[in-house]
Structure 1
């Protein structure tokens, strides 16, 4: 079985083999292992590090993720059978491909950039949350201060109103006392009129003409 290995690089190699009639309705097994030595000369399937199954319609396969500057053995069999020496081929990988090195560096830089971006977004979200929390707290404190000021103003207005009402009441009481001192007779007559029961007893008014007091139960007419 003429197996050939082409397009070998530091990380990949293309394995080509002729089609087998016994694998028409089955699959091919591509097995490879690094650092081949006499210990693995038995060609047992268990001795190989990697094994890939390829559809029977294909006759080539690209082996990837190889180690640069390493000797590999690759074997191709039908239906995972143990390979023979004519079904295997030994090849050496090259130095690391400059393109793959560049791609690795790009992937590393991209990973660092993505990580940094995620960290910056997290920090920005934390700062934004802190600012919003501080603004809400200051607004709440300002509203509480306004409410306290309004309550104090209402208390002052109520105190002033009460003091004014008490002052007015005191002035009216003083005016009534002054009126009683100046016109005691008028207050007594007003009291008599306000209390009709006082008219049940005869009242004799002392005067120069000594007029007869009104009859019992009658009230004098006061002009």
Structure 2
């Protein structure tokens, strides 16, 4: 049939075949399998790992995703028929291409970078949430402390005013006691001053009698 394999790399290979008159209104089936075992006695379709369908307008196909340094067998038939030995070719893939290695490394580095970025964003979001939570709690505690301080100040002011009033009352009572001790009639004098109309009439005869007593004494002495 004249099948050829060209442009072999570590991961790809191009398969070329001549057109078949029997496949004008159908398709070509490209079958390939790695590590072909020479013990196989027949080329059955079920023995192939993969199979690709190609339109009849084409006479070539690029096999991809091959394993480097591996022996492959590829067959081309019409309408998925079981191939014969003249419809197959064996080829060996090369070492991995430097470009594919670089692409693999770039893809791996990109995946690691994306994963690290996502993890960092998650950690930053968690830290930001924790900081905001702590700030809100401290602000709430500060407001509660200010309210408690105001209440304590009001209580202290009321206590001071009450203590001051009690001290003033104590001073007044002490002054009254001192006045009673020094002047026993101080209470009567205060009462007289407060209500002079009650004590005015009895006070006058007392003073007149006190004035008359010496006069009587003088008169008896003269006699």
**TM-score computed with the length of structure 2 as normaliser:** 0.70
Equivalence for 2:209: none
Equivalence for 1:85: 85
- Could you tell me how far apart the structure 2 residues matched to 1:169 and 1:183 are? 18
- Could you tell me how far apart the structure 1 residues matched to 2:22 and 2:9 are? 32
Question: Is 1:182–2:186 an aligned residue pair?
Answer: no
Contact 1:8-1:14 within 8 A present in 2 as well: yes
Structure 2: where are the runs of 5+ without partners? 180-185, 206-223
Give the number of equivalent residue pairs. Answer: 196
TM-aligned CA deviation for residue 52 of structure 1: 1.8
TM-aligned CA deviation for residue 90 of structure 1: 1.2
Question: Is 1:69–2:69 an aligned residue pair?
Answer: yes
Bigger helix fraction: 2
Cα shift readout 1:88-113 (whole Å, capped 9, x = no counterpart):
11111112212212222222222232
The SS at the match of 1:156 is: helix
Alpha carbons of structure 1 residues 121 and 207: separation in structure 2 relative to 1, 3 Å: closer
Structure 1: where are the runs of 5+ without partners? 193-203, 209-223
Equivalence for 1:148: 148
1:49-198 alignment runs, 5 A limit? 49-163=49-163, 181-184=188-191
- Could you tell me how far apart the structure 1 residues matched to 2:39 and 2:189 are? 142
- Could you tell me how far apart the structure 2 residues matched to 1:182 and 1:112 are? 106
Cα shift readout 1:68-119 (whole Å, capped 9, x = no counterpart):
1221111122222211222211111112212212222222222232233233
TM-aligned CA deviation for residue 147 of structure 1: 1.8
Q: Which one is further off, 45-54 or 128-137?
A: 128-137
TM-aligned CA deviation for residue 10 of structure 1: 1.0
Alpha carbons of structure 1 residues 153 and 51: separation in structure 2 relative to 1, 3 Å: same
**TM-score computed with the length of structure 1 as normaliser:** 0.70
TM-aligned CA deviation for residue 7 of structure 1: 0.7
TM-aligned CA deviation for residue 174 of structure 1: 9.7
After superposition, the CA RMSD in angstroms is 3.3
TM-aligned CA deviation for residue 42 of structure 1: 0.6
TM-aligned CA deviation for residue 14 of structure 1: 0.9
- Could you tell me how far apart the structure 2 residues matched to 1:206 and 1:126 are? 96
- Could you tell me how far apart the structure 2 residues matched to 1:107 and 1:92 are? 27
The SS at the match of 1:40 is: coil
Contact 1:180-1:187 within 8 A present in 2 as well: no
